[in-house]
Amino acid sequence: MLARADTFTRVAAGWLAFIAALAIVGPVLPLPDFAEADFEAMGVGVFSPGHLLGTDSNGYDLLANVIAGSRLSLLIAVVSVGIGGALGAAIGIASAYRRGRADYVVNTAFNIVLAIPNLVLGLALVAVLATTADPSIPVAPARRVVVLIVSLTIVIVPILGRIARGATLSWTSREFVVAAKTMGMKDLDIIRRHIVPNVLPAIYAVGVLAVGVVIVAEGALSLLGVGITEGTSWGAMISRVRGEIEYTPHAMIVPVVALALTVIACNQVGDYLRSRLDLRESRL
């Protein structure tokens, strides 16, 4: 699939694979514990002994934190996009195939949700879902993560749902769908065998782009204090070192760079996938 990619895209894909690998094998790497502060090396810069990327002003190793953080950031992003994409695609395909009133309702619903800026929507959902009856009891970290995933999933559903709907509208107007009906095929089978395989590639491409969007969204929400507060994600890291930017700027730069590179890589690969699909479309 990457056979015809240019160098930039290959590098981007390589970066994504690298980050994913690090996230998975992170715990077994010979690095300091991300939650353990090294009091003898607080605020040291990159390439310091024992701390490849340095530490923040509290002594937490930045490399270990970036890797640990990647796990949560990627998990949230991939799960939200995965579930949101599947749900959105299912709704979009079904409504576009049926057309009529149901399609009108679904389309309007999508448009309404899309009209709300991602971050505002995420913020509102987290606020609603993450509060407990007694405000003095802090929310458990696991619940925070789940709430975050649910909120971002809801944001993603109309984004990918719209793509799926548009693609389905265009494919159902082709004659091979009418042909399938005249052969006596059941609607569900037509969707399964003919519509979904043709619509899916468009979803993948935008899905990869969406992963980048969600990583940034999670970062922003964490920065605002409603994302991950305990444990670590890239957003949480950035949020934590906010105040020290004057003294230990590298503590902010490291996670920001990691996040930025990953999002750029997602954009590049997603864009490449999209252009490959367009090529195939134009051949038809």
Partner 1 sequence: MAGGGTAHMRGGADAVLEARNVVVEFKAGGGRKVHAVSNVSFDVLRGETLAIVGESGCGKTTLGKAVLQVPPPTSGEVVFEGRDLTRLGTDELREARTAIQMIFQDPISSLDPRMTVKQLVEEPLWIWQRGDEAARAARVNALLENVGLDPALVLDRRSYEFSGGQCQRISIARSLALEPRMLICDEPVSALDVSIQAQILNLLQDMKDRFGLTMIFISHDLAVVKAVSNRIMVMYLGKVCEVGTPDAIYARPAHHYTSALINSVPVPDPTRARATIPLQGEPPSPLAPPSGCRFRTRCPAATELCTQQEPQLREVGPGQFVACHHPRG
Residue nearer to partner 1 on the CB measure, 29 or 179 = 179
Residues 194-233: x where in contact with partner 1 by CB under 8 A, - otherwise, as a string: x--xx-----------------------------------
Interface with partner 1 (CB under 8 A), residue from 143, 186, 192, 242: 186
Residues 264-283: x where in contact with partner 1 by CB under 8 A, - otherwise, as a string: -------------------x
Residue nearer to partner 1 on the CB measure, 165 or 194 = 194
Kindly report the three-state secondary structure assignment for every residue of the chain: CCCCCCHHHHHHHHHHHHHHHHHHHHHHCCCCCCCCCCCCCCCCCCCECCECCCECCCCCEHHHHHHHHHHHHHHHHHHHHHHHHHHHHHHHHHHHHHCHHHHHHHHHHHHHHHHCCHHHHHHHHHHHHHCCCCCCCCCCHHHHHHHHHHHHHHHHHHHHHHHHHHHHHHHHCCHHHHHHHHCCCCHHHHHHHHHHHHHHHHHHHHHHHHHHHHHHHHHHHHHCCCCCCCCCCHHHHHHHCHHHCCCCHHHHHHHHHHHHHHHHHHHHHHHHHHHHHHHHHHHC
Token representation of residue 181: 């009906």
Supply the minimum distance, in Å, between the C-beta of residue 97 and partner 1: 14
Count CA atoms within 13 Å of residue 159 on its CB side. 24
Q: How many other CB atoms are found less than 10 A from the CB of residue 211?
A: 27
Choices 27-35, 49-57, 175-183, 237-245 (CB under 8 A): range interacting with partner 1: 175-183
Interface with partner 1: number of residues (CB under 8 A): 18
Residues 82-101: x where in contact with partner 1 by CB under 8 A, - otherwise, as a string: --------------------
Interface with partner 1 (CB under 8 A), residue from 30, 135, 184, 225: 184
Supply the minimum distance, in Å, between the C-beta of residue 105 and partner 1: 18
179 binds partner 1 (CB under 8 A): yes
Interface with partner 1 (CB under 8 A), residue from 185, 224, 256, 277: 185
Supply the minimum distance, in Å, between the C-beta of residue 245 and partner 1: 52
Supply the minimum distance, in Å, between the C-beta of residue 193 and partner 1: 8
Supply the minimum distance, in Å, between the C-beta of residue 106 and partner 1: 20
176 binds partner 1 (CB under 8 A): yes
Binding residues vs partner 1 (CB under 8 A): 174-176, 178-186, 189, 194, 197-198, 283-284
